[in-house]
Protein backbone atom coordinates (compact mmCIF):
# COMPACT_ATOMS: atom_id res chain seq x y z
CA UNK A 1 0.00 0.00 0.00
CA UNK A 2 1.63 3.25 -1.11
CA UNK A 3 -0.16 6.58 -1.16
CA UNK A 4 -3.24 6.53 -3.40
CA UNK A 5 -2.62 3.14 -5.00
CA UNK A 6 -2.76 -0.35 -3.64
CA UNK A 7 -1.13 -3.47 -5.08
CA UNK A 8 -3.08 -6.36 -3.62
CA UNK A 9 -2.07 -10.01 -3.60
CA UNK A 10 -2.42 -11.55 -7.03
CA UNK A 11 -2.62 -8.29 -8.96
CA UNK A 12 -0.34 -8.25 -11.99
CA UNK A 13 -1.46 -5.09 -13.76
CA UNK A 14 1.84 -3.21 -13.81
CA UNK A 15 0.17 -0.11 -15.30
CA UNK A 16 -1.01 0.66 -11.77
CA UNK A 17 2.45 0.47 -10.17
CA UNK A 18 4.08 3.92 -9.97
CA UNK A 19 7.26 4.32 -11.98
CA UNK A 20 8.89 6.69 -9.48
CA UNK A 21 9.35 4.36 -6.49
CA UNK A 22 11.86 1.66 -5.56
CA UNK A 23 10.55 -1.88 -5.77
CA UNK A 24 11.08 -5.15 -3.94
CA UNK A 25 10.29 -8.03 -6.28
CA UNK A 26 9.29 -11.48 -5.08
CA UNK A 27 10.08 -13.86 -7.93
CA UNK A 28 8.13 -16.70 -6.33
CA UNK A 29 4.95 -14.64 -6.33
CA UNK A 30 5.51 -13.67 -9.96
CA UNK A 31 5.83 -17.35 -10.92
CA UNK A 32 2.36 -18.29 -9.70
CA UNK A 33 0.02 -18.98 -12.60
CA UNK A 34 2.76 -19.68 -15.15
CA UNK A 35 2.38 -22.88 -17.19
CA UNK A 36 6.11 -23.77 -17.12
CA UNK A 37 9.29 -22.56 -15.46
CA UNK A 38 10.31 -21.13 -18.85
CA UNK A 39 7.08 -19.09 -18.91
CA UNK A 40 7.77 -17.95 -15.35
CA UNK A 41 11.26 -16.78 -16.31
CA UNK A 42 9.85 -14.92 -19.32
CA UNK A 43 7.28 -13.18 -17.12
CA UNK A 44 9.98 -12.13 -14.67
CA UNK A 45 12.33 -11.06 -17.48
CA UNK A 46 9.63 -8.80 -18.94
CA UNK A 47 9.19 -7.07 -15.61
CA UNK A 48 12.94 -6.58 -15.29
CA UNK A 49 13.09 -5.15 -18.83
CA UNK A 50 10.44 -2.54 -18.08
CA UNK A 51 11.08 -1.87 -14.37
CA UNK A 52 14.66 -3.02 -13.81
CA UNK A 53 15.99 0.37 -12.67
CA UNK A 54 13.30 0.51 -9.97
CA UNK A 55 14.01 -2.97 -8.62
CA UNK A 56 16.32 -2.62 -5.62
CA UNK A 57 15.66 -5.79 -3.59
CA UNK A 58 14.70 -9.38 -4.41
CA UNK A 59 12.93 -12.11 -2.52
CA UNK A 60 14.21 -15.32 -4.08
CA UNK A 61 12.27 -18.55 -3.81
CA UNK A 62 10.43 -20.89 -6.13
CA UNK A 63 7.23 -22.89 -6.01
CA UNK A 64 5.18 -25.36 -8.04
CA UNK A 65 3.77 -22.52 -10.18
CA UNK A 66 0.44 -22.87 -8.38
CA UNK A 67 1.07 -22.25 -4.66
CA UNK A 68 3.34 -19.94 -2.70
CA UNK A 69 5.52 -22.74 -1.30
CA UNK A 70 8.62 -20.65 -0.53
CA UNK A 71 11.15 -23.25 -1.63
CA UNK A 72 14.19 -21.20 -0.70
CA UNK A 73 17.17 -23.57 -0.86
CA UNK A 74 19.59 -21.68 -3.15
CA UNK A 75 20.60 -24.94 -4.86
CA UNK A 76 16.97 -25.81 -5.67
CA UNK A 77 16.25 -22.26 -6.86
CA UNK A 78 19.36 -22.33 -9.08
CA UNK A 79 18.46 -25.80 -10.40
CA UNK A 80 14.95 -24.80 -11.52
CA UNK A 81 15.67 -21.28 -12.69
CA UNK A 82 19.42 -21.54 -13.59
CA UNK A 83 22.17 -20.06 -11.49
CA UNK A 84 23.35 -17.70 -14.27
CA UNK A 85 19.85 -16.29 -14.63
CA UNK A 86 19.48 -15.81 -10.86
CA UNK A 87 22.95 -14.23 -10.63
CA UNK A 88 22.03 -11.72 -13.35
CA UNK A 89 18.92 -10.71 -11.41
CA UNK A 90 21.01 -10.11 -8.28
CA UNK A 91 23.49 -7.70 -9.91
CA UNK A 92 23.43 -4.36 -8.05
CA UNK A 93 20.50 -5.45 -5.90
CA UNK A 94 20.12 -6.72 -2.37
CA UNK A 95 18.36 -10.04 -1.97
CA UNK A 96 17.27 -12.77 0.43
CA UNK A 97 16.29 -16.37 -0.09
CA UNK A 98 12.86 -15.84 1.44
CA UNK A 99 11.46 -18.26 4.00
CA UNK A 100 7.77 -19.03 4.17
CA UNK A 101 5.48 -18.27 7.06
pLDDT interval class at 93 (50, 70, 90): very high
DSSP state of 54: T
Give me the sign of the Cα torsion angle 6, 29, 18, 22.
positive
d(CA 100, CA 70): 5
How big is the chain by its Cα radius of gyration, in Å? 13
pLDDT interval class at 10 (50, 70, 90): low
- Stronger pLDDT, 72 or 91, i.e. the higher one: 91
Amino acid sequence: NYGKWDLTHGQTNWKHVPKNIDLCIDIGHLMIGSKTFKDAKNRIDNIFKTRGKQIKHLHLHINNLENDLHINDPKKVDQKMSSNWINNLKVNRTFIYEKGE
